[in-house]
Amino acid sequence: MNSLRKLDAKAIIISLIGFAILQGLLTADILDNFWELNMILICINIILAVSLNLINGYTGQLSLGHAGFMAVGAYTGAVLTVNFHTPFLISIIISFVTAAILGAMIGLPTIRLSGDYLAIATLGLGEIIRIVIMNVNYVGGAAGFMGIPKYTTFAWAFFVMLFVVFFIKNYVNSSFGRACIAIRENEIAAETMGVNTTKYKVLAFMVGAGFAGVAGCLFGHTFYIVHPSSFTFLASFNYVIMIVMGGLGSITGSIAGAFILTTVSALLSAWPELRMIIYAVILILLMFYRPQGLFGNIELTSLPIFKRFKGGK
Amino acid sequence: MGIMDQFFQQLINGISLGSIYALIALGYTMVYGIMKLINFAHGDIYMVGGYVGFFCITIMHLPVLPALVISMVLTGLLGILIERIAYRPLRSAPRLSVLITAIGVSFFLEYTMMYFVTPQPRTFPHILSDVAYHIGPFVVNNQQIMIFAITIILMALLTYIVQFTKTGKAMRAVSFDTEAAQLMGINANRIISFTFGIGSALAAAAGVLVGIYYNSIDPLMGIMPGLKAFVAAVLGGIGILPGAAAGGIILGIVEALVSGFISSTFRDAAAFAILILVLLFKPTGLLGKNTNEKV
Amino acid sequence: MSILLEAKEVSKMFGGLKAVSNFDMTINKGELIGLIGPNGAGKTTAFNLFTGVYQPTTGVINFAGKSLKGMKPSQITQRGIARTFQNIRLFSELSVLDNVKIAYHTHLKYNLAEAVLRVGRYMKEEKRIEEAGRELLKIFKLEDKADEIAKNLPYGAQRRLEIARALATRPQLLLLDEPAAGMNPQETNELMDMIRWIRKEFALSILLIEHDMSLVMGICERIYVLEYGSIIAHGLPEEIKKNPEVIRAYLGGEA
């Protein structure tokens, strides 16, 4: 069992080496601003995908409103930084709290809905959040909130992402995560096993929404501006597509999905229409030939190559 | 204009808009009823219908009615084709896969259209001169009358097909229990194709009517109305045809009243707020029956 | 003997339909009781009422001296009632061991922060339930299938796993809904032995619904007979066998 922690330590060391290399390439200007921006976006999208996977993949509650929570975080962070001059880390933490509270507020009433009804309700709530923001002049209304300092560096995005990935990974591998998975597999049986299904669903919504808020806060501090049009339900679809592409119930998959889609979209950014057509075709083909996603519910760390790290039980 | 006049005016506007929603919602609800699929591409079918009508009128110089019929036929065939290519292979796949495929089809239609016709909105030719009629407290223009008339005719036609034809009975049977229907010798695939065809044709009609009414079409015009139509279908009780029609009209009226009396920016929020309220208090919709899971 | 569960004049209406009415039942500590009756008599409804899946329309259910009114199924499980399902409800995509681990849910003592930081307590607790789970599987002859996916188990093994999982919640009262359904006579015999054994070993009371009369008559100390939602007879197995009401209910016609 202690090997679990050893495995964690190894994963962190590998991540740090990876970070050092990428940061070195950035500092040496081998990777230009365009790529720095996209590396930040990849980290942000990984946070969104992994946190959404907790709700959709592990708990089995199809949510199509993730962009709404992201919006809450983005605007909270922007207001705090610009109007209250809070340090970046504090903005991030408060963004988490605000989005998580909203997640709970939305989660509590909608949680008894199931399947398609929940999906469409979360979609509607996400849109309502966006429309309400659009009508609040304090945050710039439909024109967006401008003049946000660019605090999000690759280092910030990377380390926050690393924290979120570890948080979610450890969450799903504990009794909290097992409760979520039990709910996904059979809600009535889960309840009968003593799992308070309402509590764990709301908790999953809170944690997922909170980290979406964190991603939003990072996002807002990347572009000098947050604009309501960044948080439509189409954005939410995008995050769902990332996790389905990677495989629901696999954190590795969510990371891969976020990475692949963000990279492909960066590479094709010169041809916006063609990009979306290719995107659509890939999506359809993926559902035909690999509906369980690239990784299914398998984690990288359970592949044979990683087994030797594990050692005895 | 007095507040009552304004109210009646918004009511008429609302019913016009609602008729459009109703036509789209019917297709949504039929497809959901038969396949349990939220066909996110349905709004884009409506968009394609609008463009086909547009080209019929501008390039082929056809009058409104032939343009409408051609658009319905071609778009109906497109619907059948989409089902055949994109959804049929996934008949036994998990629901989420089909949902994602529907999103994929939606993007495909939007951006393929954009690729060919550019993202610029097209101005629909002004084919009907504006004539306003005063009927009691209502002021109705001839475009609105055309929308009402065509909507009513199409709904009557649909009711006839579903209630009185053999195919209609088969549709209801497949929607009630696909497996049992197949055991009774009904070719479910053929019926599903037919459902997509009919639903898409109705959406196409809505697309052409919207073009005439608002004078403008663009490749992304289907996204919001598609979503609203789904809200309408849920409001009426998903899978129930009269529910979709009623839901569409109610939604149209509410939106018109909200934009007339509160603010047009809250129009979309009103639709989604209705959705949430319905889901929380009567998730099966206004005309739906409650069902419980057997333990 | 002390009373463990007591149902007094319980009824449950679905719309205008009376699923259960005037239902009285007493289960003492350590008893093994059978609940029988024709299909649709309301046996599973009674289970659903005891476990909080349904709330009674009228009447009270007391468990270990406290009313169960308004409690969610998870709270009732924490109080000490566990159950299996007529139509097996395993976590079918998960491993056999994970199925049991989930059932230890209420007995794990670490919080969210400890889980996320993987501190010593998390490690110790996870190790403890892993061992306890494997121990439990051994009793049900499932130890070498611990890492298999639950849905791939043969039917009889799935039923055994459901019982193992119910026991992992550490109940005082175990409700078994047709545990022998779909089993062959030999499996049924083994099951009877197992039920007797776990009652003794885990110091449980057991209430079981069963259509297999040899099983019910063979192991139950007392039997309740339900028809159209009402208890029409209860008593010792021999009394039930001779009861004219019961014979009429099962064979039809006038007794």
Q: Does B88 contact chain A (CB < 8 Å)?
A: no
pLDDT tens string B32-52: 988 888 899 999 999 999 999
Q: Does C51 contact chain B (CB < 8 Å)?
A: no
Q: How far apart are CA C68 and CA C75, in angstroms?
A: 9
> Number of structural domains, chain A?
1
| Residues forming a β-bridge with C3 | C28
Q: How far apart are CA B147 and CA B209, in angstroms?
A: 6
Q: How far apart are CA A97 and CA A94, in angstroms?
A: 5
- Which residue type does C253 have? G
H helices of chain A, in order, are 2-27, 33-53, 66-84, 88-110, 115-134, 154-172, 175-185, 187-192, 197-220, 233-246, 251-267, 272-289, 304-310
**Contacts of residue C74 in chain A, CB cutoff 8 Å?**
191-197
Q: Which residues of chain A have pLDDT under 50?
A: 1, 305, 307-313
CB contact under 8 A, A240 and B97: no
In a domain, A193, yes or no: yes
Chains contacting C (3 or more CB pairs within 8 Å): A, B
In a domain, A254, yes or no: no
Give the largest Cα separation in chain B, rounded: 62
Q: Does A229 contact chain C (CB < 8 Å)?
A: no
- Which residue type does C65 have? G
**Contacts of residue B295 in chain C, CB cutoff 8 Å?**
44, 48, 53, 85
Please work out, in degrees rounded to the nearest 5, the angle formed at the alpha carbon of residue C24 by the alpha carbons of C18 and C28.
145
pLDDT tens string B246-264: 999 999 999 999 988 888 8
Give B166→chain A minimum CA distance, Å: 30
Q: Compute the average pLDDT of residues B71-79.
A: 97
CB contacts < 8 A (A, B): 112
CB contact under 8 A, A171 and C123: no
pLDDT tens string B126-179: 877 778 888 877 888 888 999 999 999 999 999 999 999 999 999 999 988 888
Q: Using CA coordinates, name the residue in chain A closest to C92.
A: A185
Give B278→chain A minimum CA distance, Å: 10
What tens-digit pLDDT sequence spans chain C (255 residues)?
689 999 999 999 988 888 999 999 999 999 999 999 988 889 999 999 999 999 999 999 999 999 999 999 999 999 999 999 999 999 998 999 999 999 999 888 899 999 998 888 999 999 999 999 999 999 998 999 999 999 999 988 999 999 999 999 999 999 999 998 888 888 899 999 999 999 999 999 999 999 888 889 999 999 999 998 999 999 999 999 888 888 887 766 544
In a mutational test of the C interface, the residue from B292, B293, B295 whose CB has the highest number of chain C CBs within 10 Å is B295
Q: Does B264 contact chain A (CB < 8 Å)?
A: no
Question: Picking from A254-263, B87-96, B188-197, C136-145, which range would have the lowest pLDDT averaged per residue?
Answer: B87-96
pLDDT of residue C254: 47
A168 within 8 A of A251, measured Cβ to Cβ: yes
pLDDT of residue A103: 93
CB contact under 8 A, A174 and C126: yes
Q: How far apart are CA B242 and CA B248, in angstroms?
A: 10
Q: Does A135 contact chain C (CB < 8 Å)?
A: no
pLDDT of residue A90: 97
Half-sphere exposure at residue A23, Cβ-oriented, CA atoms within 13 angstroms? 13
Q: Using CA coordinates, name the residue in chain A closest to C129.
A: A175
Give A159→chain C minimum CA distance, Å: 16
Q: Does B277 contact chain A (CB < 8 Å)?
A: no
In a domain, A48, yes or no: yes
Computed from CA positions of residues B48, B49, B52, B54, in that sequence, does the dihedral angle turn out positive or negative?
negative
Nearest-by-Cβ selection for C112 from A1, A176, A189: A176
In a domain, A6, yes or no: no
Delimit the domains of chain C by residue range.
3-251
**ipTM of the predicted structure?**
0.89
CB contact under 8 A, A174 and C165: no
CB contact under 8 A, C51 and A192: yes
Q: How far apart are CA B270 and CA C216, in angstroms?
A: 59
Q: Using CA coordinates, name the residue in chain A closest to C89.
A: A189
pLDDT tens string A17-65: 999 999 999 999 888 889 999 999 999 999 999 999 999 999 999 999 9
A192 within 8 A of C83, measured Cβ to Cβ: yes
In a domain, A296, yes or no: no
A 254-293 near B (Cβ less than 8 A): 273-274, 276-277, 279-281, 283-284, 287-288, 291
Nearest-by-Cβ selection for C169 from A166, A167, A194: A194
A279 within 8 A of A265, measured Cβ to Cβ: yes
pLDDT of residue C134: 95
Give A41→chain C minimum CA distance, Å: 25
CB contact under 8 A, A194 and C78: yes
Nearest-by-Cβ selection for B108 from A117, A240, A281: A281
Computed from CA positions of residues A114, A116, A117, A122, in that sequence, does the dihedral angle turn out positive or negative?
positive
Pairing of strands C205-209, A145-146: unpaired
A127 within 8 A of B269, measured Cβ to Cβ: yes
Q: Does C151 contact chain A (CB < 8 Å)?
A: no
- The 3-state DSSP class for residue C48 equals helix
- The 3-state DSSP class for residue C9 equals strand
Report the candidate in B239, B212, B206 with the shortest Cα–Cα distance to residue B128: B212
**Contacts of residue A273 in chain B, CB cutoff 8 Å?**
111, 114-115, 119
Computed from CA positions of residues A151, A48, A1, A302, in that sequence, does the dihedral angle turn out positive or negative?
negative
pLDDT of residue A8: 82
Q: Does A106 contact chain B (CB < 8 Å)?
A: no
What is the assigned CATH class of domain C3-251?
A: alpha beta
Q: Does C48 contact chain B (CB < 8 Å)?
A: yes
Asked whether the predicted pLDDT for residue B6 surpasses 90, the reply is no
pLDDT of residue A309: 42
Q: Compute the average pLDDT of residues B57-69.
A: 93
Q: Please tell me what DSSP assigns to residue C180.
A: T
In a mutational test of the C interface, the residue from A165, A176, A193, A202 whose CB has the highest number of chain C CBs within 10 Å is A193
| Cα–Cα separations (whole angstroms), residue C143 to A176, C168, C176, C190 | 25, 15, 22, 17
Give the pLDDT band (50/70/90) at residue B238: confident
**Contacts of residue C85 in chain B, CB cutoff 8 Å?**
295
B 17-76 near A (Cβ less than 8 A): 36, 38
In a domain, A18, yes or no: no
Chain B residues interacting with chain C (CB cutoff of 8 angstroms): 295
**Contacts of residue A283 in chain B, CB cutoff 8 Å?**
100-101, 103-104, 107
Phi and psi angles of residue C27, each rounded to the nearest 5 degrees, phi first: -120, 125
H helices of C51-119, in order, are 73-79, 96-103, 112-117
pLDDT of residue A269: 86
Give A112→chain C minimum CA distance, Å: 14
Q: Compute the average pLDDT of residues B231-258.
A: 92
**Contacts of residue B269 in chain A, CB cutoff 8 Å?**
127-128, 131-132
A182 within 8 A of C104, measured Cβ to Cβ: no
In a mutational test of the B interface, the residue from A111, A131, A133 whose CB has the highest number of chain B CBs within 10 Å is A131
pLDDT of residue C253: 52
Chains contacting A (3 or more CB pairs within 8 Å): B, C
**Contacts of residue B268 in chain A, CB cutoff 8 Å?**
127, 131
Nearest-by-Cβ selection for A189 from C89, C106, C116: C89
In a domain, A247, yes or no: no
pTM beyond 0.80, yes or no: yes
Task: Print the domain residue range for A76.
Answer: 40-231
**Contacts of residue C44 in chain B, CB cutoff 8 Å?**
295
CB contacts < 8 A (B, C): 4
In a mutational test of the A interface, the residue from C74, C95, C111, C174 whose CB has the highest number of chain A CBs within 10 Å is C74
Give the pLDDT band (50/70/90) at residue B292: low
Q: How far apart are CA C36 and CA C46, in angstroms?
A: 11
